[in-house]
Structure 1
Amino acid sequence: MRIVVLAYDHISPFMLSTPLAVFGEPFLASGHRIDVCSNEPRLKTTGGLTIEASYPLEAAREADVVILPGWRNVDEPLSSDIIAEVQMAGERGAIVVGLCLGAFGLAEAGLLHGRRATTHWAQAKTFALRYPTVDVDAGALFIDEGQILTSAGVASGLDCCLHLLARMSGLGEANRVARHLVLAPQRSGQQPQVLERPTIGSSSDRRVTEILEGLRADPTRTPSLDELAERAGMSRRSLSRHIRSRIGGSLGQWLKQVRLSRAQEMLTSGVHGMEDVALRSGFPDAHALRSAFRAELGLTPTQWMARQKVG
């Protein structure tokens, strides 16, 4: 598939590099092509860098995926030529992604009317007031509406792009790229944007990390909270507090997501038999696996598999 990133003068180098890191690194095995398009061949970026765009903005009209990584300022009108390219991409059925303040561009182009969307939490109120027909979720890391995706600020753009890569090339490929980027592959779109975390490097933080990584490595285990608390040398209440501050929710819900992710990875890698997939990913049976898919994704496993390849 051809992926295009829309660049503009005074773009953030980090925001520009986000989709390039996920889709354009040499270790990516999926064969996707990614290009940077701009109406100016030489662009100044924040931080004093100057970059050259390889293609004009009109080259985006042949792309399967069009990504708008942020915008300079919510109080500055978006470039009319960028809005036009985003509109045309939406009209022809391309996947359109607005990272961070890029959601403002998608809304300005009319692509978010009646849809759910997110943006950086600090600008979510402005976004909602400016575009009242958009269902704004100020808490989500990213939102996938099928053809249209939006993400919250900065680092959550990586989560959104990895999620899209999983749609395009399978969860196994997305997890492999995440490991190369030294990123956790488990951040779902509904994880809160802002979490309070224990002090990095504290002994309690390391113990909680060991527990979570152990459960991630083998999600078929079902230790009780009391057993985990004893292993961590904490009270049950203290462990629950540390886990919640670390993952933004309950251990049970997190473990369900881990098991679901393991099942997705097995399905995309070619493992057959729902009963076998269920047991090897930590679900008691195939019925529980199907129920988890419907509850979390609104799809059966078969329907989810059919949507893993786009274009």
Structure 2
Amino acid sequence: MPNCPKIGLFDFGGLSKVNLFQFAVPQMVFGDLYAEKWFELFILNASSDQSSTLPCDGDLSLAEQMDMLIVAGWHDINEPPTPEVQHALRQAYTRGAMVVGLCYGTYALAYSGLLDGKKAATHWFAESDFSLRFPSIQLDTNALYVDENRLITSAGTAASLDCCLYIVRKFHGSRVANKIARMMVVPPHREGGQAQFIDQPLPIVSKDQQINQLLAKIQQNPTACYRIDELAEQLAMSRRTFTRHFQKATGTSLTQWIIHLRLQNSLTLLENTSLSIEQISERAGFQNTVSFRQHFKTRYQITPNDWRRAFVGNGA
């Protein structure tokens, strides 16, 4: 790896086509704000008419000299990059450079064909659209960033900072990354993934009225013990028929639906009460604290205490 990598940050037309936060993050992390020079950052004018309200160091021809190209966000997910931009991205990758897409910038890499058959990340809000539009790309909907053989993509907004600090570690190690993180007053590495920030409400209404009534009943008393055989008997169904109807109505199994419900209830308790983890586990309906912690970590990739610290600011 070069000691002072050259990084090209694309400007696609000035303030009207730039997410200022996402554009500022690589400038802060890779720019000339520190006593030591770890990277050389260049702003490349990539607008179709070469117009920009931002100061640029050159046009797309500079891309040939870069060790890394960064697309910081994307202004319209329905609009592919120009053929010139796609060519610059593909050519850079072919000659061994890194190519980075921050947040919706992943779309630019996907449109250019660089991510076909590979893993990638983008903002969770675009999950359905991205998967439909690019079925050959394996979208990791939980990762804050993904590094797939010099193709680095990140989740939304603040995750672009996690991604850029990861790149610093990749080139210069943890010492430099930690130093930059301290200067920016941010953690050098965040635990967990996008799951902790995604609002995923439970399916509570379906076309199956019998299942709807059952879901409402469970929501009213989520801590009770529910057995499939007993519920199937109440609905005059066989176990197999009940399982099939529930899966069709909710998209998941009874057990997973109840776990999801209890986890959502635990979030409310974590964020709005001072109850201990043991008390929250019991009130949410888990058999024991160990089970609660295991399900919580599996779902959100962090512990209940870490969740409370992140969203409330204190631990239990």
TM-score bucket of the superposed structures, by smaller chain: 0.5 to 0.7
**How does 1:172-191 map onto structure 2 within 5 Å?**
172-188=175-191, 190=193
Give 2:144's aligned amino acid. L
Which residue matches 2:18? 11
Secondary structure of the equivalent of 2:195? Answer: coil
On the 8 A contact 1:6/1:82 being kept in 2, the answer is no
Identify unmatched segments of 5+ residues in structure 2: 200-266, 282-288, 307-316
Could you tell me how far 1:235 is from its partner in structure 2?
4.8
Secondary structure of the equivalent of 1:52? Answer: coil
C-alpha distance 195-59 of structure 1, shift in aligned 2 (>3 A)? same
Are positions 1:85 and 2:92 aligned together?
Answer: no
Which residue matches 2:153? 150
Q: How many residues align?
A: 219
Normalising by the residue count of structure 1, what TM-score does the alignment of the two structures yield? 0.62
Which residue matches 2:167? 164
Which residue matches 1:223? none
On the 8 A contact 1:143/1:189 being kept in 2, the answer is no
Q: Distance in 2 between matches of 1:25 and 1:82?
A: 26
Identify unmatched segments of 5+ residues in structure 1: 44-49, 205-232, 255-311
Q: Report % sequence identity.
A: 30
Could you tell me how far 1:251 is from its partner in structure 2?
3.9
Could you tell me how far 1:238 is from its partner in structure 2?
3.6
Could you tell me how far 1:236 is from its partner in structure 2?
2.8
Find runs of 4+ consecutive structure 1 residues off by over 6 angstroms: 196-203, 239-242
Q: Distance in 1 between matches of 2:146 and 2:168?
A: 14
Q: Distance in 1 between matches of 2:114 and 2:194?
A: 24
Q: Which string of whole-angstrom CA distances, capped at 9 and with x for unpartnered residues, describes residues 227-250 of structure 1?
A: xxxxxx8353449789x69x9435
Q: Which string of whole-angstrom CA distances, capped at 9 and with x for unpartnered residues, describes residues 259-291 of structure 1?
A: xxxxxxxxxxxxxxxxxxxxxxxxxxxxxxxxx
1:131 to 124, 134, 137: 134
On the 8 A contact 1:140/1:193 being kept in 2, the answer is no
1:234 to 268, 276, 283: 276
Are positions 1:32 and 2:58 aligned together?
Answer: no
Which residue matches 2:301? 249
Secondary structure of the equivalent of 1:61? Answer: helix
Normalising by the residue count of structure 2, what TM-score does the alignment of the two structures yield? 0.61
Q: Distance in 2 between matches of 1:145 and 1:25?
A: 28
Could you tell me how far 1:201 is from its partner in structure 2?
10
Secondary structure of the equivalent of 2:36? Answer: coil
Could you tell me how far 1:202 is from its partner in structure 2?
7.8
Could you tell me how far 1:144 is from its partner in structure 2?
1.0
C-alpha distance 39-153 of structure 1, shift in aligned 2 (>3 A)? same
Which residue matches 2:73? 70
C-alpha distance 80-185 of structure 1, shift in aligned 2 (>3 A)? same
Q: Distance in 2 between matches of 1:92 and 1:189?
A: 33
On the 8 A contact 1:141/1:193 being kept in 2, the answer is no
Are positions 1:20 and 2:24 aligned together?
Answer: no
Could you tell me how far 1:134 is from its partner in structure 2?
0.6
Which residue matches 1:53? 56
Q: Which string of whole-angstrom CA distances, capped at 9 and with x for unpartnered residues, describes residues 61-110 of structure 1?
A: 11001111111111223222221111111111101101111111111111
Q: Which string of whole-angstrom CA distances, capped at 9 and with x for unpartnered residues, describes residues 174-224 of structure 1?
A: 1111111111122157453616877999895xxxxxxxxxxxxxxxxxxxx
Secondary structure of the equivalent of 1:174? Answer: helix
Q: Which string of whole-angstrom CA distances, capped at 9 and with x for unpartnered residues, describes residues 105-151 of structure 1?
A: 11111111111001111112111111111111122111111311001
C-alpha distance 71-137 of structure 1, shift in aligned 2 (>3 A)? same
1:2 to 2, 6, 9: 6
Please identify the structure whose Cα radius of gyration is greater.
Answer: 2
On the 8 A contact 1:118/1:124 being kept in 2, the answer is no
Are positions 1:106 and 2:148 aligned together?
Answer: no
